[in-house]
Structure 1
Amino acid sequence: MSGGCAVTLDDLTVALRALRLLAVDFPHLPAPDVDVSPVFPEWLRLSLHDTSCESLSAFEQWRTALRIAPEAVDSRTQSGGRTRVLKAEGQFAGAVIVLTAYADEPAADRAPAGQAGGVR
């Protein structure tokens, strides 16, 4: 980072360069929410949100494109078992990519009342 306490736009160059390359290399993939933060300037977060399982399919497309190993994926539930979350990290163009998908968990797969959804 630059000297001093303030993070500059230049400090985000690695993540922004990775985003630019993703747009060029993978324009056909579903558009994620994108987050670049001065808190973690070399991280690029890609999030997919959907009430159907479309975001899980999009996650898989991105995971494959980024060559993140299937065993690197963390699968869990949140919101009392109502939301499924997939998360994985990888590297692309020098940036840490954090790929996350959220989807409603089908009612039949939800944890019984009184039990919190947890890691599967």
Structure 2
Amino acid sequence: MSAITLAAQAVALDALAQLGAAMGHLPGAHISLSDITPNQLDISLHDDLGDFETWRSALGIAADTVTYIARTRHTVLKAHATFAGATIELCGYAALLPQPESGAEA
């Protein structure tokens, strides 16, 4: 059983409530809290990096602080912010663009 209580996650829960009230227009996302990092909100956006960009801009995260990771089958963008006292980890996932076949015309 976790030693962390729901009350210990109050900062992240409050930040989530404030995000909903102030930025309810943002695209829907997968949002999670963890007992490992009780003051953090993890916000993940899948299949549309435009949605990631909308969130990044709304949270005031500078574009040059975004980490880009190219994996075997997908692209990952990661960024961090602080909102209402909580740490936000923003992640965007999208498929890699297919590479042109060798000898194919551009």
Q: Please state how far the C-alpha of 1:70 moved relative to its aligned partner.
A: 0.8
Q: Please state how far the C-alpha of 1:29 moved relative to its aligned partner.
A: 0.8
Q: Which runs of 4+ in 1 moved over 4 A?
A: none
Give me the identity figure in percent: 42
Alignment of 1:6-21 (within 5 A): 6-21=3-18
**Counterparts of 1:91 and 1:21, CA distance in 2:** 12
**Counterparts of 1:16 and 1:10, CA distance in 2:** 9
Deviations along 1:48-82, whole A, 9 cap, x unmatched? 112xxx2x10111001100011111001111x2x2
Query: Structure 2: any 5+ residue segments left out of the alignment?
Result: 101-106
Name which of 68, 80, 100 aligns with 2:91: 100
Are 1:33 and 2:30 matched, yes or no?
yes
Normalization by structure 1: what TM-score? 0.79
Alignment partner, residue 70 of structure 1: 63
Deviations along 1:19-74, whole A, 9 cap, x unmatched? 00111111111111011001000010000112xxx2x1011100110001111100
Normalization by structure 2: what TM-score? 0.89
Secondary structure of residue in 1 paired with 2:99? helix
**Counterparts of 1:70 and 1:49, CA distance in 2:** 19
Query: Structure 1: any 5+ residue segments left out of the alignment?
Result: 110-120
Alignment partner, residue 115 of structure 1: none
